[in-house]
Structure 1
Amino acid sequence: MLRVRQATKQDHSALREIYLKSRAQYFTWMDSSKLAPEDFDRDTEGELVLVATNGARIIGFVAVWIPDHFIHHLYVHPDYTGQQVGTKLLQTCYETFDASPPLTLKCIKENAKALRFYRSQGWHIKGDGVSSNGAYYLMEYGGIHRT
């Protein structure tokens, strides 16, 4: 059964693995030889990390910078894509954070699959920019799934 809970220290190695595997498989515009398990530690420092589990196995996570309601990372283990894991993680964010300020995230423009997913979940493009990872869309949650 799919559940979402706050991450613990015991989850750390599984989260590192998901972060590394997902980026290596889906971020084809990045040089995968420069990816390392330790990237997870640096890239989620100070963020609330929620994990999706199927039984005892961690199958995805979302990391949120709480002060800005900014979803910094959402990753699903490659073996579990297309199984509503990302949707469940987002729904938990909608339930956890109030609407002010609205939830936001950045989606790399080259990541067409993620862009389709976020749009299907009620997100819209608010702006754009460029980061060290490439050109991105700044997206905001439109609230159609909020309960």
Structure 2
Amino acid sequence: MNWIIRSPVKADLEELADIYLAVRRDTFTWVNPLTFRHEDFFAHTQGEMVWLAETDDGEIAGFMTLWSPDDFVHMLYLRKQYQGRGIGTGLLRALPDWPDRKYRLKCLDRNERAKAFYRAHGFVVTGAGASGEGDYEEMTFFPAS
């Protein structure tokens, strides 16, 4: 499968919000799905850098966001049918100076698939905490020395 990683244009944002809503409702099954809203995407990405992955036929497969002041990967969401195809890896590679820069993220404890993905890409657990969606692990990617 071929895809491109690019910054979204305004016309893409509603679709990114749809993906964010659908994946959260599908993945975070322990949270009341009615707590997730379409408009969350716009509130949760304020001031963040955003990249999307688009298939060669023009479908948006998913996206990633970065809060750049802290090198914090805030979101990486893929439509279910595109998970496990290397697109998440492609999005990580879009990060500035990847893999020569330290990055952090939080991953919900119950999201085993995501935790495995990040571990496979060199992230290690460096802390823990709790949120309204459940307990999470803080994970950090340390560049090779």
Q: TM-score, normalised by structure 1?
A: 0.90
Runs of 4+ off more than 3 Å: 94-98
Task: Tell me how far apart the structure 2 counterparts of residues 86 and 71 of structure 1 sit (CA, whole Å).
Answer: 12
Deviation string, structure 1 residues 56-111 (Cα, Å, up to 9, x no partner): 11111001001000001000011211111111101111546862xx2100000111
Task: Tell me how far apart the structure 2 counterparts of residues 64 and 141 of structure 1 sit (CA, whole Å).
Answer: 14
Task: Tell me how far apart the structure 1 counterparts of residues 90 and 97 of structure 2 sit (CA, whole Å).
Answer: 11
Match of 1:82 in 2: 84
Task: Tell me how far apart the structure 2 counterparts of residues 97 and 43 of structure 1 sit (CA, whole Å).
Answer: 25
SS at match of 2:94: helix
The answer as to whether partners of 1:69 and 1:97 remain within 8 angstroms in 2 is: no
The answer to whether 1:46 aligns with 2:47 is: yes
1:71 to 64, 70, 73: 73
Task: Tell me how far apart the structure 1 counterparts of residues 96 and 141 of structure 2 sit (CA, whole Å).
Answer: 9
The answer to whether 1:110 aligns with 2:117 is: no
5+ residue gaps, structure 2: none
SS at match of 1:60: strand
SS at match of 1:93: coil
Match of 1:138 in 2: 138
The answer as to whether partners of 2:5 and 2:91 remain within 8 angstroms in 1 is: yes
Task: Tell me how far apart the structure 2 counterparts of residues 2 and 80 of structure 1 sit (CA, whole Å).
Answer: 11
SS at match of 2:21: helix
Task: Tell me how far apart the structure 2 counterparts of residues 94 and 136 of structure 1 sit (CA, whole Å).
Answer: 25
5+ residue gaps, structure 1: none
Q: Given the superposition, is the C-alpha separation of residues 51 and 27 from structure 1 closer, same or farther in structure 2, using an over 3 Å criterion?
A: same
Deviation string, structure 1 residues 95-138 (Cα, Å, up to 9, x no partner): 46862xx2100000111111011001111001111122211100
Q: Given the superposition, is the C-alpha separation of residues 47 and 98 from structure 1 closer, same or farther in structure 2, using an over 3 Å criterion?
A: farther
SS at match of 1:36: coil
